[in-house]
Amino acid sequence: MNTDFIILAAGKGTRMGSDLPKVLNLLGGKPLVQHLLDTVSDIKGSRVQLVVGHKPELVKSSLDTNKKTDFVLQKKQLGTGHAVKQTLKNLRSNSISLVLYGDGPLVKKQTLTRLIASAEKGNLSILTYKPTDPHGYGRIVRDKKGLVEKIVEQKDASSDERKISEVNSGILAIKTKYLKDLVRKISNKNAAKEYYLTDIVEIANQAGIPVKATIVSDHKQVLGVNNQQELHDLERQYQEDLARQLIVKGARLADLSRIDVRGDLSVGSGSFIDINAVFEGNNKIGKNVTIGPNCYISNSILADDVKVLANTVIEDSIVGAGCALGPFSRIRGGTTMEKGSELGNFVEANRSHIGPSSKAKHLTYLGDAELGSKVNVGAGTITCNYDGKNKNKTIMGDGSFVGSNSSLVAPVKLGKDSYTGAGSVITKNVKDGELAIGRGRQINIKKKK
């Protein structure tokens, strides 16, 4: 049977203490609800009804969805039962409906397919767990045979019911034709005056539909986010899991609690990552790469045997095999470094191409620069690439040697094997093999006695 996923994401998340819709808070660099969208996207025959309400346009524009996702507006947030009611007209009558709460991002696909299988047999199938502290969650009340009688929300629970340790994860699956019948019967006669989806359990029992609960022992799958503390704890948990996965695949980490991966990262075997590395977006690290402490790397590729020394920033760039970077260097803007090239202490490269074995080892700015192979850029060199209106190119031919503290005023071209004298301001092209000196001659003046 096809599955219609109903993801509830209309709430403001008052307990988060911020104006951002709760489901847009980031976990591992990705909105909470995006994790769910990604998990369900490749389940066969799936379609998604995403219920939005608080700042719906912002939620829509912040998510990456495919054409199988419909946004359904819940104008007033009158409860989880009311939220599901808004989607009923969009559901396929011969499907299974599976409800997910947008603030519980980490449920696994296998868990969902198990619930779907149970629903196909005609059950209302709910996912439960036993947290260390059940406070705040809906409690699972079972009858003598172990079937679920009802779910009681914290606010409505008696003191005996509050002692129940098994709680509702919020995830449930049921045949859509049953859901349509049952949800319409949910009322708001409770302490919060909300339409609770959880009332569906009692209503199903009255209709003779068996209610089966599956207890999930791996709590991480059902941990939700209701406040900043829970978001923090879930992020740490998520990061630890990612770090352990990297270690299993052969990466060496100085400390698995001091690496943050906000996006996708692959690390080749034999690579070492020192403390406080932050990876954002899509990053690929090759084999035997060393990354020093306090590095920030986003949307970049590092080939094998690259050495990145402390406090280096690499953004939107490609670093070839055996290159060295840092300490304190920053490359960005689609910079590519070819095999064996080096950018050292306090060097910034922006929209530049660094040819094989070329080096700029100290205090340099390379903007819109194109370096051939084996170029040597002396300390303190600056490409003056911006004239106030346009960005202009500096080309340094193979084997060229730029004297320390040169200003290369772009557009300008240094020929192959050419030289510039230290302290030069180079405004004109230099031909192959020439030495250019653009500085005042030194005069030594005798002191008057």
Q: What is the contact surface with Ca ion in residues (CB under 5 A)?
A: 103, 224, 226
Taking CB under 6 A as the criterion, the residue among 59, 78, 354, 375 binding ligand UD1 is: 78
Of 32 and 323, which has the nearer Cβ to Ca ion?
A: 32
**How many CB atoms sit inside 10 A of residue 121's CB?**
10
Q: How far is the CB of 223 from Ca ion (least distance, A)?
A: 10
Pull the structure tokens for residue 1. 């049977």
Which of the choices Ca ion, ligand UD1, none does residue 200 contact, using the CB cut-off of 5 to 8 A by kind? none
Q: How far is the CB of 155 from ligand UD1 (least distance, A)?
A: 9
Is the CB of residue 118 less than 8 Å from the CB of residue 173?
A: yes
- CA 96 from centre of chain: 30
Pull the structure tokens for residue 139. 């409690």
Of 62 and 226, which has the nearer Cβ to Ca ion?
A: 226
- Is 362 catalytic? The answer is yes
Please tell me which residue in 82, 135, 219, 362 is annotated as part of the active site: 362
Is the CB of residue 438 less than 8 Å from the CB of residue 425?
A: yes
Residue 31 sits in the site that holds ligand UD1 (CB under 6 A): no
Q: How far is the CB of 186 from Ca ion (least distance, A)?
A: 18
Of 160 and 389, which has the nearer Cβ to ligand UD1?
A: 160
Query: How many Å apart are CA 29 and CA 141, to the nearest integer?
Result: 37
Of 201 and 306, which has the nearer Cβ to ligand UD1?
A: 201
Taking CB under 6 A as the criterion, the residue among 30, 35, 47, 82 binding ligand UD1 is: 82
Residue 170 sits in the site that holds ligand UD1 (CB under 6 A): yes
H or E element: which one contains 81?
A: helix 80-85
Interface with ligand UD1 in residues 183-202 (CB under 6 A): 196-198
Mark residues 9-28: x for contact with ligand UD1 by CB under 6 A, - for none.
xxx----------xx-----
Which of the choices Ca ion, ligand UD1, none does residue 98 contact, using the CB cut-off of 5 to 8 A by kind? none
Q: How big is the site for ligand UD1, counted in residues (CB under 6 A)?
A: 32
Taking CB under 6 A as the criterion, the residue among 31, 102, 105, 286 binding ligand UD1 is: 102
CA atoms within 13 A on the CB side of 115: 32
Which of the choices Ca ion, ligand UD1, none does residue 51 contact, using the CB cut-off of 5 to 8 A by kind? ligand UD1
Of 9 and 323, which has the nearer Cβ to ligand UD1?
A: 9
Q: From 99-107, 212-220, 330-338, 350-358, give the range in contact with ligand UD1 by CB under 6 A.
A: 99-107
Q: How far is the CB of 72 from ligand UD1 (least distance, A)?
A: 10
Taking CB under 6 A as the criterion, the residue among 62, 226, 290, 392 binding ligand UD1 is: 226
Of 105 and 403, which has the nearer Cβ to ligand UD1?
A: 105
Collect all residues with Cβ–Cβ distance below 8 Å to 232 and sequence separation of at least 6: none
**How many CB atoms sit inside 10 A of residue 145's CB?**
6
What are phi and psi for residue 302, nearest 5 degrees?
-115, 120
- Residue linked to tokens 């899509």: 282
Of 237 and 290, which has the nearer Cβ to ligand UD1?
A: 237
Q: What are the DSSP E strand ranges found in 274-374?
A: 277-285, 290-291, 296-298, 301-302, 307-308, 313-315, 318-319, 324-325, 330-332, 336-337, 342-350, 353-354, 359-367, 369-371
Residue 128 sits in the site that holds ligand UD1 (CB under 6 A): no
Interface with ligand UD1 in residues 325-364 (CB under 6 A): none
**How many CB atoms sit inside 10 A of residue 43's CB?**
17
Exposure string (b/e) for 47-76, b if CB count within 10 Å is 16 or more?
Answer: bbbbbbbbbbeebeebbeeeeebebbebee
Please tell me whether residue 115 adopts helix, strand or coil conformation: helix
* Cα dist from 124 to 18, 131, 185, whole Å: 35, 22, 15
Active site residues: 362
Q: Give the footprint of ligand UD1 on this chain (CB under 6 A).
A: 8-11, 22-23, 51, 53, 74, 77-80, 82-83, 101-104, 137-138, 151, 153, 167-170, 196-198, 224, 226
